[in-house]
Amino acid sequence: MTEQIRVVIADDHPLYREGVARSLSEDAGILVVGQAQDAPGAVELAERMKPDLLLLDVSMPGGGGLAALRAVMEWDKPPKVAMLTASEEDDVVMQALKAGALGYVLKGVGGRELAALVKDLARGQTYVSPALAGRLLATLRGGTKQRAANPLDELSKREEDILRLVAEGKSNKEIGLTLDLQEKTVKHYMTSILQKLHLRNRVEAAVLAREHLRR
């Protein structure tokens, strides 16, 4: 039997939070191990229960989901984190991704789709709700005055190969195994990729790569 994905949900609206928990629990591959109603509670639960994925609402007492995100990202081995929220503010999206969130999911997503996203996110894949992805790309492009029409033109063949694997949700270790490179070498390449494309993290790189690869 496949091991279940352990999830902690943090949201200050009990009915919504419990509804999400029930919905996810209907999937045999997911186990909801805790629920929190504020940022400190989310951090405490994540530390105690060690989930594979922590789902955070942006607007919560105790500093909000961003405060909880930043707190857990300081750990040596943080869980995967995604925002599950109604907030569509561009600045909040960018802050969450910059702080280390792998996903930004808007409330209103269906139960089956959310369960599928939880599984993808727990495996390290990235996700930004389609309604926000286009605006995020526009923001990234608008912030760079001298970006090539095809951003991947800035990269070497090896860097492009690595970026394609990042877009597939692979970790540095998995990329190294795929391309027969040491993990530290992949890290060096990733630093170069982010610098060349004027990006701040893997999520932004994956979003940009996916948009390009669809062409």
Closest CA to 93 of 62, 43, 140, 132: 132
Q: What pLDDT was estimated at residue 3? A: 86
Q: What does the pLDDT look like over 145-193, one tens digit per residue? A: 444 456 777 788 888 889 989 888 888 899 999 999 898 889 888 888 8
SS3 28: coil
Read off the amino acid at residue 171: S
Closest CA to 102 of 151, 64, 140, 53: 53
Q: What pLDDT was estimated at residue 147? A: 46
Residue with tokens 């922590």: 54
Which class is 145-213 in CATH? mainly alpha
Which residues partner with 99 through β-bridges?
Answer: none
Q: What pLDDT was estimated at residue 201? A: 84
Fold topology of 5-136: Rossmann fold (3.40.50)
Q: CB-based contacts of 203: which residues, under 8 Å, 6+ apart?
A: 97, 101, 102, 126, 128
Strand segments (E) across 57-174? 80-85, 103-106, 127-128
Q: Map out the domains of the chain as residue ranges.
A: 5-136, 145-213
The list of the chain residues with pLDDT below 50 reads 1, 144-148, 215
207, two tokens:
């979003």
Which residues partner with 83 through β-bridges?
Answer: 56, 104
Q: What pLDDT was estimated at residue 136? A: 73
The CA radius of gyration of the chain, in Å to the nearest whole number, is 17
137, two tokens:
């790309």
164, two tokens:
């394609």
Q: What pLDDT was estimated at residue 68? A: 95
Q: How far apart are CA 205 and CA 22, in angstroms?
A: 33
Closest CA to 54 of 122, 2, 117: 122
31, two tokens:
């186990």
Closest CA to 132 of 89, 101, 168, 163: 89
Q: What pLDDT was estimated at residue 148? A: 46
User: What length is written for the chain?
Assistant: 215
